[in-house]
Every structure is written in C-alpha cells, then in structure tokens.
Amino acid sequence: MTVAGHYSYWITIVIAMAGLYIVIARGNLVKKLVGLAIFQTSVYLLYIAPGKLIGGTAPIVAEGFAVYSNPLPHVLILTAIVVGVATLALGLALVVRIKEAYGSIEEDEILGQDPAPPGRTP
Amino acid sequence: MISQHYPVLHVVLPLIAAPVMVLARHGGIAWLLATAVSWSSLAVSVALFAQVADGSVVSYAIGNWAPPWGIEYRIDSVNAFLLVLVSLIASVVAIYSRESVAAEVPREQHYLFYTMYVLCLAGLLGIAATGDGFNLFVFLEISSLSSYVLIALGRDRRALMASYQYLIMGTIGATFIVIGVGLLFLMTGTLNLADMAARLPGVTETRPVLAALAFLTVGICLKLALFPLHLWLPNAYAYAPSAVTAFLAATATKVSVYVLLRFYYTVFGESVVFAALPMGGILLALSLAAMFIASTIAIFQDDVKRLFAYSSVAQIGYITLGISFDSATGLTAAIVHLFNHALTKGALFMLLGGVALHLGRIRFRDIGGLARVMPLTSFGVVLAGLSLIGVPGTVGFVSKWYLVLAALEAGAGWLAALIVLSSLLAVVYVWRFVEVAYFREPSEAVSRLKEAPPSMLAASWVMVVGCVYFGLDASTTVGGAAQAAATLLGIGR
Amino acid sequence: MKGYLVLRVVAKLMIAFMVVFALYVQFHGDFGPGGGFQAGVITAAAIVFYAIIFGLPAARAVVPDWLVEAMVAAGVLLYAGVGFAGLVLGGNYLDYFVLAADPVEGQHRGIFWIELGVLITVAGVMLKIFYMFASRDEERSR
Amino acid sequence: MIIATLLTMIAVITVVIVRERNLFAVVVLFGIYSFLMATVLVALDAVDVAMTEASVGAGISTILFLSALHLSKGIEMKPLHRPFLPLIVALATGAALAYGTLDLPAFSDPRAAIHQHVAKRYVDEAARETGVPNIVTAVLASYRGYDTLGEVTVVFTAGIGVIALLRRMRPRKRGEGS
C-alpha cells in the first residue's frame, strides 16, 4: 500500500465527504441537490479508478492492442450516472413546486410555515 | 412452457404495463391494467412460492447468460415469501385505489398515478427477486423514484416537502448501498450475490469487507427507517395519498428488511455480521429505542395518520429485534412479523383512507363520535389496533409470541418483559382512537360523514379479516417464515 | 432572437449536423464510444437548441407534446418487447440468441433494437423535462 | 501524473463549492467539476462514461439547475443549521471509506480481483460472443442488458414523474388539506 497507489481513493473520500456535508448542513433545497450530485459522483471514481490498467486502452477491441482496462465498472457507472440525473430531475421538479407552494427554497423557512411540530397536541 | 419463465414474469408484467398506460392516457384503462397485472403477479408469486416451499432454489438466467456473467433471478423460500406479500398487498390496494384515488388525485393525473403505482410494484418485486447486487440498486431506484412521485401527489402541500426529504434521504441510502456493493465488487470481482458469498471467505483483507458491511447496513437501514434513520417516514406516510400510504407502509420497508437479511445471511454470513462486528448488539439497542421512543412519540400525535406512521417505526423495531437474536426463532419471528405487520398497517391505513375521503386530514379533534356514522370502519380500526397491541386471536399476537420465545431462548427474560411492556404503549395510542371514536358525541361535521364506498370498505376488510384469520390459524405464515429462516441460516452456515 | 438572420441560418445547419451526429453515435456505438443514451441526449439537445433559437412554441409545433409523450413510452415498450420476443421464440427473457438462426447475428439484432429503444425514451424524456420546465416559466410570467 | 493533477483540481473545486454561497456560482462550478470529472474518466480509459458524464453532468444537469434556479429565484442565504452534526456524519463516512479502501488493491494492479473474474471473460470473449467490438456496449446491451432495461425504466419514471409534478392542471379548486 502506497500513498500514490491509493491517491484516487483519497480524492474519492474527500468528494464523498464534501457532498454529504453539503446535503446535510445546507438548508437551501437547490444546494442540497448539488451536494447530492457530488456525493453520487464520488462513487464513479470509486468504481472506475481501480479498473484502469496502466498501458491498457479503452475497452474497444481493435488490432494492435492487447491490454484493455476493465469494462465492467464502466457499464455500472453508466447506469449510475443515468440514475443520478433522473433523481436530480425529479428533485428539481419538486423544488419548483415547493417554491410555488411556499414562496421559498430555504428548508427552515418552509418548515416554519407549517407549524405542526412532532410530539405535540394542541 | 410458460411456467419456467415465472421468476421474471411477475416483475416484467407490471414493468411493461407502465408504458402502455402512458400511451393509453386514460385513468380507467390504467386502473384496469394496474389491477390486472397486480393480480397476475400475485398468481405467479403464489406458484413460485409453492415451487420453492420445500427449500429448493429456482435460478433464472436473464438473456440466457449464465451467472455470474449475466443477471440472475434467484428465487428461494425467503424471497418467494416476500413476493407473495408484496403482490398480495398490491392486488388488494389496487382494488381499493379506484375510489380512493378518484377522490384524492385530480382526474387528469389518474393514469400517471397508476403508471407510478405499477412501476413501484415492479421495482419492489425486482429487488426481492434479483440475485445480482447492482441490479438490486437499479430496481431500488425504480421503486424509490416512483414512490417519491406517488407521495408528492398528496393533497396537502406538505406532501411536496415530505417527498423531497424522502428523496434526499433515500438517495443517500441508495448511494451508501452502491458504495457497499462496490467495495464487495472490488474485493471479489463479481456482482452476483451467490457468487460473492462463495468468494468472500477467500478474501484475506477483511477491512473492505467490514466497511462494505457498515455501508450496506446504514444504507439499507435508511430505506427501512430504522430508528434514528426514520426521519423521512412520518411525513411521507402522513401526507401521501391514502392508497399510497397503505401500499408503501405494507411493502416498501418490508422489502428493505429482506435486503438486509439477504446481505447479512446470504452474502456476508453470520460469522462476519454477528461475530466480527457487534451487529447484534447495535441492532438490539436501536430496536429497543425504536419500540419505546417511537411509540411514545406516537401517543402524542394529533394527526391519526402520523400516529400510525410513528407506530410503524416502532413496529420495524420489533422486526429488527427479531433479527438481532440471530437464531432460528428470532428470524422466524422477524419474518412472520413482516407479513403480520404488513397486513395490520395495510388494514389501518386503508380504513383511515376511507375517513380521509371526506375529511382530508384526520385529526382526533375532527373525528369525535366517528363510530356512530362509520361503524364498520371504526370497528376495523379497533381490530387492527388490537393486532398492533398483540392481543391473542390477532396476527400481532403470533409475532410477539415468537419474539418472546426467541428472547427467552436467548436467556434474556428482561427482554421478554420489555417486549410486553412496549405493547402497553400501543394500548395507549389505540385507546386514544377508541375513546375519541366511541365515547364522544359526533359533531355536526362528523354526523354528515358516511361509510366509504363498498369497494374500499371491502378491500380494507379483506386485510382486517386477514389480521384475524392468520392470527387464529398461523400455520401457513409461521410455516413459511420458519422455512425462510431455515433457508437463511442454512446458507449462512 | 428571431431577428438574427445569420444566427438562424447557422442554427439550422447546426441542428442538422447535431441530428446526424446523434445518428452516428447511435449506430457507431458498436465500434466506438457511444450508444443509445448518448445519442438520445444529443437528439434532445438538437431540439432544445431549436427551441432556444426559434422559441418554445415553434419547437412544440415541430415536435408536439403528444409525440414526445409517446416517445417516452414507446422506447421502454420496445426494449421490454425485445425481451418478450426472446421469450416467445423459445429463449429466456431478453435472450437475443434466439432472435436469428445464427447466435451472433441474433445478438446483433437484439442490441440494435434495444439501443433504439434507449434512444427513443431518453430523447423523449429529456425533451419532455425541458418542455415542462420551460413552459412552467412562460405560464408564470404571463 | 495527469490523473493525479486532475483529481487534485476536482478536490479543490469541491471544497470551493462547499464554501460558495451564491447559487449561480455553485451551479457553474458544478458544471466545471463535471467537465473535469469527464476528463479524468477519459484518462482512466472510460470513454463511454466520460461522454455520458460530459453530456449529463455538464450539460443536462447544468441546464436543469439553471432552469430550476430561474423558476425559484434562489440565491443562497446564510446557513442557519449548526454545522457540527453534519460534520460528524461526513467525517464518520469518510473514516469508514478510508478504513475500507486501505486494503483495496493498489491503482492499476492487474492481479486485483476485478480483473481476474467476471470481467476477464468479457474482455476475452465478448467481441466473439456478441460480435460487438466495443466491450462496454456488449456488456451494457447484452450480458447486463436487464440492468439497462432497468435504467431506461428509471429514466421513464423520472420523465413521467416530472410530468405528474409540473403539468398544469385545468384550473379547479383543490382542497389544500388543512
């Protein structure tokens, strides 16, 4: 185990932490979705970086190449990207509706408008 | 022979019904199709259940690529039990939804609603049937995305925020699951769960495996709303359309429990989960917290749907409690409670949907004297409530009986006492309904209410009768659960 | 932007080029990078481009809403239908081997049709989402 | 070396995004982030993924974000949340990831399990078995074609979901619940 050999993992971890932090800490609904998207992209690196072989080429069979990088993570991440953007589209559609219903996209302002704190009987 | 394709048909039929509904653009046709595919899925699932009841395994190679190169559907007695449960609830809720959705969702959106409904069904069945780690994630997202939309279709504007919060937490959960599966994939080179299980013992580096276990546990527990990761659930259940609440409460969290069991017992094996990490202790602590804290919160709710949503969090605690024992009896209790709680909560939320038809939100102060005008509905709620408490003669009793047995077997008498004690909290919140509905004079608004339409009432009562029937004759459910538990433990050892 | 003649002419050329490129990405996906998803995105982008230059109503006249919604459904239906074709011809679900006498030829056929399904649905969905967001704005500012 | 540099740039941009409070800036930075990610993916030989990430991350996502911002007129305010709990959650996740990745095979180790088992057959046989030289396409469309069916269904679900959420209803009184 070397620092260089694991550099991609370290960056993956930084991105994952940053994304997760944005999602939980920020109250702005749009910014939360940006954080969510970043958190999801960290997974791309986690899957794909280990599939690379130095000296290999993209996994398209052609004359003159013998070593190909691993195609399976690519397939999985293609699916993950598509799922990510689908989630994003739905999330943003919800944000638009929330803005129309509440006039705000700040979480605490929205929750403040519907006073129904859990665990109380009026 | 068509029967050889059963393992894939129950997922593909609802899947293909969805685009047909969009092309038809007609609410009535969409409802017919949704009902038809739900019942067909149920028929197929029952046939599969019978096929694997003896403990055998049916493997189906999609695309005719042998696993682990292709994606495999793998049915054994554990997920066959789940398939029957999910498609059964979907079939009953489909009948129920016609009137309920007509009242709660704008007419132009009916076909969209049913499209989402069958997609959610296909997603849940796909999660249960698949034998492939990544395919599980894909179908998880199908069911999740469709349930976000279904929740957002609720009448109250709070449904939008509930859906958004569920979307955030659900996506975090799904991403955690992908990270967990990814770590396992990097260590074993395969995505097929059975193949993974076969190769994991040969993996010498345990740290990635343990990290994968942690990520999968947290991710799945977010989806199954284990305390304290339940924050999305109460609002989502409270503000979703009634049919959606009934369907999701009875199926979505249950399927997540199945995924947890599948990873714990089939992939990692008991020795890793319960010996290398103190998962048993963690699950036990969180389950107890869920049983007591969530039940206590439930008692103080003013909104009846929210009350029973918190009660769901507590009931999930009973299920994970059963898992934490890591014994045949404990697993049997957990699996049988999956089924029993699905029936009970399905019945409750369907009956409440009948009240919501006229009232919108159901608050205690608005339903005083409800039993006078809606006697059948109120009586059904009481029966299902007795099942929540665990009174003998209802399914709830069967679950608690096996849970107490498992606790005693593990030599934890104090735990058995706690299980009984926590039921007292359920007595309190069920009694609140009884007191309000039976011992108050109906207000003018209440006296104008009337029973829900026959199709809704009948569908709800099917569930209520199920609560009592399977409480009196538990041989089918307990037998199925015991077989499932044996299968899980057999693979684990 | 309706007044800019140069822009409009260039845009028309660009759109034609984009559609051709989408087709290239679609059908060259077997040999190079690309496939149904990417081609679908490019196709949708071409029409979005058209809408930006010529206005949303113009785009909706060329590619009307009912067509987009039909595309959204048709692609999935085509994909799932290929699966059923395998089933009817005696194979498993999504079995391409049985689609032709020669197994490799069958694979080719299967992949062609499902990639087409992906293209149709992805293009339809991306376009639909754009329409929904864009028209939401128009109605609000009215 | 190129990869390491690009990765460092990505990490820097991520940190900037965390701190930035103007939403338009955040969205633009996210577009740049996606482009950098796509470039890294090319360097990692994942050309199909890079193409998709460039069109989805930098293209579609950015357009979606911008139109949502336009509709919601949002410019981020000061965070009112207490940052401690999120920080703990993020740190715990990072620690778990670090713990898990320590024992993973080093970068470009050909003996790693992922190169030896399932993928090996794809690399060796896919072109012959399916007649498609692009192995990613072969696996995507054939071996794991069912995943792709699921993926298309997810896209379909999102499309129909957006219709259900954003289509204007004919004006009619809808009881707003409370």
Please, are residues D126 and B75 in contact by the beta-carbon 8 Å criterion? no
Q: Is B1 helix (H, G, I), strand (E, B) or coil?
A: coil
Count of pairs with CB atoms under 8 A, one residue in B, one in C: 52
Q: What is the 3-state secondary structure (H, E, C) of chain D?
A: CHHHHHHHHHHHHHHHHHHCCCHHHHHHHHHHHHHHHHHHHHHCCCHHHHHHHHHHHHHHHHHHHHHHHHHHCCCCCCCCCCCHHHHHHHHHHHHHHHHHHHCCCCCCCCCCHHHHCHHHHHHHHHHHHHCCCEHHHHHHHHHCHHHHHHHHHHHHHHHHHHHHHHCCCCCCCCCCCC
Give the one of A60, A78, A96 whose C-beta lies nearest to C136's C-beta.
A96
Residue B360 lies in a domain: yes
Q: Are the Cβ atoms of B207 and D102 closer than 8 angstroms?
A: yes
Residue B77 lies in a domain: no
Give the one of A58, A82, A93 whose C-beta lies nearest to C37's C-beta.
A82
- For chain B, how many structural domains are there in total? 1
A11 CA: distance to closest CA in chain C (Å): 26
Residue A110 has pLDDT above 50, yes or no: yes
Which residues of chain D are within 8 Å of residue A20 when distances are taken between CB atoms?
86, 89-90, 93
- For chain C, how many structural domains are there in total? 1
Q: For residue B372, give its domain range.
A: 333-493
Q: pTM for this one?
A: 0.94
pLDDT over 90, % of chain A: 46
B226 phi/psi in degrees, rounded to 5: -75, 135
Angle (CA) B160 D158 B171, round 5°: 65
Which residues of chain B are within 8 Å of residue C77 when distances are taken between CB atoms?
16, 19-20, 23
Give the one of D52, D141, D146 whose C-beta lies nearest to C111's C-beta.
D141
Residue D1 has pLDDT above 90, yes or no: no
> Residue D178 — pLDDT band, cuts 50, 70, 90?
very low
Q: Are the Cβ atoms of C33 and A58 closer than 8 angstroms?
A: yes
Q: What is the pLDDT of residue B492?
A: 42
pLDDT, mean of residues A7-36: 90
Which residue would you say has higher pLDDT here, D75 or A82?
A82
Q: Most D CBs within 10 Å: which of A87, A92, A106, as the mutation test of the D interface?
A: A92
pLDDT, mean of residues C95-109: 89
Residue A116 has pLDDT above 80, yes or no: no
Q: Most B CBs within 10 Å: which of D99, D103, D117, D124, as the mutation test of the B interface?
A: D103
Residue D173 has pLDDT above 50, yes or no: no
> What's the rounded Cα separation, in Å, for the pair B320 and B85?
18
C76 CA: distance to closest CA in chain A (Å): 15
> Residue A67 — pLDDT band, cuts 50, 70, 90?
confident
Q: What is the pLDDT of residue D82?
A: 66
Burial annotation D18-37 (CB, 10 A radius, 16+ → b, else e): bebeebeebbebbbbbbbbb
> Residue C138 — pLDDT band, cuts 50, 70, 90?
low
Which residues of chain B are within 8 Å of residue A50 when distances are taken between CB atoms?
186
> What's the rounded Cα separation, in Å, for the pair C46 and C121?
15
Q: What is the pLDDT of residue D177?
A: 37
Q: Are the Cβ atoms of D149 and C41 closer than 8 angstroms?
A: no
> What's the rounded Cα separation, in Å, for the pair B154 and C74?
28
Mean pLDDT is lowest, of B392-396, C61-65, D109-113, for D109-113
Q: Does D176 touch chain B (CB under 8 A)?
A: yes
Instruction: Give me the CATH number covering residue A53.
Output: 1.10.287.3510
Q: What is the pLDDT of residue D117?
A: 86
Interface of B with C (CB under 8 A): 5, 8, 12, 15-16, 18-20, 22-23, 25, 60-64
Q: What is the pLDDT of residue A54?
A: 79
Quick one: residue D93, left, alpha or beta (phi over 0 = left, psi -120 to 50 = alpha)? alpha
- For chain A, how many structural domains are there in total? 1
Q: Is B26 helix (H, G, I), strand (E, B) or coil?
A: coil
Q: Quick one: B441 exposed, middle or buried, by C-beta within 10 A (0-12, 13-18, 19+)? A: exposed
Q: For residue A73, give its domain range.
A: 4-111
Per DSSP, helices labelled H in chain C are: 5-27, 36-54, 56-62, 65-88, 103-141
Residue A120 lies in a domain: no
pLDDT, mean of residues D116-124: 87
> What's the rounded Cα separation, in Å, for the pair D52 and A74?
11
| C-alpha torsion sign, points B86, B92, B96, B97 | positive
Nearest residue of chain C to residue D129 (CA atoms): C104
Q: What is the pLDDT of residue B369?
A: 86
pLDDT over 70, % of chain A: 89
Q: What is the pLDDT of residue B139?
A: 96
Q: Does D142 touch chain B (CB under 8 A)?
A: yes
Q: Are the Cβ atoms of D134 and C69 closer than 8 angstroms?
A: no
Residue A27 lies in a domain: yes
Q: What is the pLDDT of residue D76?
A: 65
D15 CA: distance to closest CA in chain B (Å): 20
Residue B438 lies in a domain: yes
The pLDDT tens digits of the residues spanning B230-281 come to 999 999 999 999 999 999 999 999 999 999 999 999 899 887 888 877 888 8
Residue C70 has pLDDT above 80, yes or no: yes
The pLDDT tens digits of the residues spanning B171-188 come to 999 999 999 999 999 999
Q: What is the pLDDT of residue B155?
A: 87
* Ranges under pLDDT 50 in chain B: 492-493
D69 CA: distance to closest CA in chain B (Å): 16
Which residues of chain A are within 8 Å of residue C133 when distances are taken between CB atoms?
92-93, 96
Q: For residue C34, give its domain range.
A: 5-141
CB neighbours of residue B409 within 10 Å: 14
pLDDT, mean of residues C85-90: 89
